[in-house]
Chain A
């Protein structure tokens, strides 16, 4: 366990812009995600939350016509720097998606090991790493007797924790979660939220959510976005009680969105 600990890093966005062709989806965002904290990003649908987090691990540029400018620093290192290997960025900054997406042809074990195999990582004790990742994702007790069962035989909530285990297995320093519980039932959602609490001991966590109660429950800091711009970021408590921008207040009190 110890070698993963305290690897969390600070992520700093500087003047980040993201485009889909000519459409400007993220507009000059400056933002900081502190290590061992959960930062929630809230805002109405289409305001650019997903686009923003996808810029952090350079997934955005995978889409045809999509590009990003500005900087994303991991501690001091700019992940958009000229000598940076994109693939290493994605290993360091893990991502969990809205819909659980385990690999359908792979067993539970193979799903967790997939990251290591897909990146050609050698010299890792696979069983150990898989077990530790599943423990880290709070799934070990439920699946330890059927690691050979297909990943897609699990329930939706379990599948999402399997995807989290898969992310943990490549030992990232930052974890981005894009509405990780929005496809899950309330109980499974609660499990994910508890998990996020635990994970922040070891990682920097960014969680996109359109569920404000969820942000209030799990996040230390909350950022509010609107039409591609960052309106403000502050402690979660302040965002939900005494935000400094009137638009934030209108949004969190449910006047729009």
Chain B
């Protein structure tokens, strides 16, 4: 009996120790995150002034360096076009994989390819577009739409993967019901499967957009960095990540401060996207 008690005491101590270690590891992991948020808010809010969102960077050596209007609008435009490219295409590929290709060999190859694409570093997409579209001078040199292509390529596999998962969640009994009514497969896919999966597709797409919006590397050699606001995707275009990248590299406190302000803006934009995605997911009838 006493031996049993002794054993359980040892076990209890070991349990305590492990719990303590895990708690410490968790704290260690969360600490940098908390620090980032703290610094971001402290320095970022400090940079947010009255004209921060309404003026373009001006490049003046002294005085007010200007705000980030062109960067915000540029990011919206570039990411908007990237979304128009990646989301319909990604969902179409997922529809093909789930509804038509299924377990076939070609579908398997596509699935593998998409997985590989997901793991490709973002700078590679930038390089790819730089070599194929910028260096070759298609429609001029650097341009906003080329940044969109790079971001679109980056987002495509993310959209496809998440859409495939969501489409697979649509119960087969619904497809069966539709087919038994005499519907051709493509109509079943468009009229039954897609609407049923819609909230999940929205969630996946928003997360992919959030991912794309924060990328710097694909934009540096495609859309480049400029000061002025542009509504022409055929020209060089500013963006938040590129602006931050540029400002942080300057040995001037007022520019570094602008980088913090821009970073906070970017994080908030992505936060809104992520929260919207969560909301859409909660409304899903499938989850």
A9 part of interface (Cβ distance < 8 Å): no
Q: A residues within 8 A CB of B196? A: 103-105
- Return chain A residues, CB-CB under 8 Å to B184: 87
Q: Is B187 among interface residues, defined by CB-CB distance under 8 A?
A: yes
Point out the residue from B180, B191, B198, B285 that lies within 8 Å of A117, measured CB to CB.
Answer: B191
Interface residues of A in 41-66 (CB under 8 A from B): 57, 59, 62, 64
Whether A90 contacts B182 in the complex (CB less than 8 A), given A64-B102, A104-B196, A105-B196, comes out as: yes
In the assembled complex, which residues on chain B have CB atoms less than 8 Å from the CB atom of A115? 181-183
Q: List residues of A whose CB falls within 8 A of some B CB.
A: 57, 59, 62, 64, 87-91, 94-95, 97, 99, 101, 103-105, 114-115, 117-120, 163, 166-167, 170
Shortest beta-carbon distance from B166 to chain A in Å: 14
Q: 4 tightest A-B contacts by CB?
A: A118-B183, A91-B182, A115-B181, A90-B182
Instruction: Give the contacting residue for B177; candidates A89, A97, A105; CB below 8 A.
Output: A97
- Residues of A with C-beta under 8 A to B191: 114, 117-118
Decide if B103 is an interface residue (CB 8 Å cutoff): yes
Return 6 A-B CB contacts under 8 Å, by A number: A57-B180, A90-B179, A105-B195, A105-B198, A115-B183, A170-B181
Q: Is the CB of B181 within 8 A of A101?
A: no
Complex CA distance for A103 and B193, rounded to whole angstroms = 9
In B265-287, the 8 Å CB interface with A consists of: 285
Please measure, in the bound complex, the distance between the C-alpha atom of A170 and the C-alpha atom of B179, giving whole angstroms.
Answer: 13
Asked if B176 CB lies within 8 Å of chain A CBs, one says yes
Using known A-B contacts A90-B181, A90-B182, A167-B181, determine if residue A118 contacts B176 with beta carbons closer than 8 Å: no
Instruction: Indicate whether B178 reaches chain A with its CB closer than 8 angstroms.
Output: yes
- The CA-CA distance from A118 to B194 in the complex, in Å, is 13
Q: How far is the CA of A39 from the CA of B38 in the complex (A)?
A: 73
In the complex, chain A residues whose CB is within 8 Å of the CB of B285: 104-105
Q: Mark B159-185 against chain A: 1 for CB-CB distance below 8 A, else 0.
A: 000000000000101101111111110
Q: Interface on B for A, CB 8 Å cutoff? A: 102-103, 171, 173-174, 176-184, 187-188, 191-192, 195-196, 198, 285
B285 nearest CB across to chain A (Å) = 5
A163 touching B177 by the CB < 8 A rule?
yes
Q: Quick one: which of B102, B103, B181, B192 has the most chain A CB within 10 A?
A: B181
Give the docked Cα–Cα distance between A115 and B178 (Å): 7
Are A119 and B183 interface neighbours, CB within 8 A? yes
> Who on chain A is nearest to B175 by CB?
A62
In the complex, what distance in Å separates the CA atom of A103 from the CA atom of B192?
Answer: 7
Closest residue on chain B to residue A57 by CB atoms: B180
Q: Is the CB of B198 within 8 A of A119?
A: no
Distance A97 CA – B285 CA, assembled complex (angstroms): 21
Counting chain A CB atoms within 10 Å of each CB, which of B180, B192, B195 scores highest? Answer: B180
Please give 15 more A-B residue pairs, beta carbons under 8 A apart, in addition to A103-B178, A105-B285. Answer: A59-B176, A59-B179, A59-B180, A87-B184, A88-B182, A94-B181, A101-B174, A103-B174, A103-B177, A103-B196, A114-B192, A118-B182, A119-B181, A163-B177, A167-B181
User: A190–B270 Cα gap in the complex (Å)?
Assistant: 55
Q: Give the residues in chain A near B103, CB-CB below 8 Å.
A: 64
Complex Cα distance, B182 from A64, in Å, reads: 19
> What residue of chain B has the Cβ atom nearest to residue A104's Cβ?
B285
Q: What residues on A are CB-neighbors of B192 within 8 Å?
A: 103, 114, 118
Q: Complex Cα distance A59/B184, Å?
A: 12
